[in-house]
Structure 1
Amino acid sequence: MTRALLVIDMQRGFDDLEFWGSTTNPDCERNVTALVAAWQGAGEPVVVVRHDSRSPGSPLHPDAAGNALIDPVAEATASLLVTKDVNSAFYGEPDLHAWLQERSIRSLVVCGIQTNMCVETTARMAGNLGYDVTVALDATRTFDLATDVPGLGRVERSADELMAGTALVLQGGGFAKIATTANVVRSIEHI
């Protein structure tokens, strides 16, 4: 069965820690690069997703230098480039779901940034659409998050807590399986 690798928002703008705050998992980029290399080596499709923020002040705005993909992803031979301005790659252009359906692709491996935002939203939606989804958690990263929530007060979570929460919700909720990059690479090498 053909499996597509979805590489979500691996953009230079996420290196702007003054904008995003503290992050976790410094191995994310190395692990994403390993997944892309394994997929290309196996001749399997790589889908690259780029977030084009509508906010002029965002490092991910199309006019910002940070909108650019990191070099290993930019240099990869992508089967499809999806651009989006919301969390889910399934609401980007061109239509990801239609593209996958046309190729009878039913299995997806998801990696990228941010774990609890675009990666999680895309994985949840893929699971709801009936895809067999795996998230290579160590090929994702996110940032500390704090906000005031009516009825709860100030809520703060570290990037590590958010990654663990995403893993719990995705696997525990039946949206996706959680795996390591090493296990995913081994599985693609044995197809």
Structure 2
Amino acid sequence: MTQRALIVIDVQESFRSRPLWRLIDNPDIADDVNRLVDHARDRDDLVVWVLHQEPGTGGAFDPESGHVRYLDGLRAPAAGEPQLRKTSHNAFTTTNLQQLLTEHGIGELAICGIRTEQCCETTARLGSDLGYQVTFVIDATATNPIAHPDAPDGLTPEQIAADPRTLPASAVVERTVFALSGRFATVATVDQVVGSGVPAAIV
């Protein structure tokens, strides 16, 4: 049987520490990810934990900030579950993730985390290109509205939300679903993964 891995990407306090968290589309993401973690452990699937860091930047992703830690309410990694720190958007390029997956005989991935269209989507795309069968658990990801490229820097979340040119989080998620489905991943919900409606990618 092909081995499976759940990749938990950047579910960390760095995001909650920033004002933009007020616009996050899934503030309860820890609960959704916890369901996936419990399910993966029950099946003896590998759970891989990934945090994003930007050393020396002085921002929320600088380890010196104290925010590069798992989101409060998230399950703690169990003994033996790999914990990686990355500095690229995808979880492969600046870590030994692929080596770990190879060592464990992994052929299928389930992706969840923050942010939907950024670190999660790029990991799914690269994972697919590397030959993994990928399930993207859409409602166990989170993102926020994206300001227009011409919007000035330094806008408050409220100003971003009020700008009619802003791409709302719902549209960000929709675009990710359209971009990944049938190309890079099977898009599924948490209920489908943990319940009877599990898509073929992870049964």
Which structure carries more strand by proportion? 1
Show structure 2 runs of 5+ residues with no match.
151-163
Normalising by structure 1, we get a TM-score of 0.87
Structure 2 equivalent of residue 123 of structure 1: 124
1:144 aligns with 2:145: yes
Shift of 1:129: 0.7
**Counterpart Cα distance in 2 of 1:21 and 1:120:** 22
Shift of 1:177: 0.8
Shift of 1:169: 0.3
* 18-27 or 125-134, which deviates more: 18-27
Q: Counterparts in 2 of 1:106-121, with a 5 A limit?
A: 106-121=107-122
Structure 1 equivalent of residue 172 of structure 2: 162
Which structure carries more helix by proportion? 1
* 72-81 or 118-127, which deviates more: 72-81
Structure 1 equivalent of residue 61 of structure 2: 60
Aligned residue pair count: 184
Q: SS of the residue aligned with 2:67? A: helix
* 97-106 or 176-185, which deviates more: 97-106
Shift of 1:156: 2.7
Structure 2 equivalent of residue 178 of structure 1: 187
**Counterpart Cα distance in 2 of 1:162 and 1:102:** 35
| Contact 2:114-2:141 at 8 Å conserved across structures | yes
Greater Rg over alpha carbons, structure: 2
Shift of 1:57: 3.7
1:83 aligns with 2:90: no
| Contact 1:53-1:85 at 8 Å conserved across structures | yes
Q: SS of the residue aligned with 1:67? A: coil
**Counterpart Cα distance in 1 of 2:20 and 2:144:** 10
Shift of 1:20: 5.1
Superposition CA RMSD, Å:
2.3
Show structure 1 runs of 5+ residues with no match.
none
Overall identity of the aligned pairs, in % = 33
Normalising by structure 2, we get a TM-score of 0.82
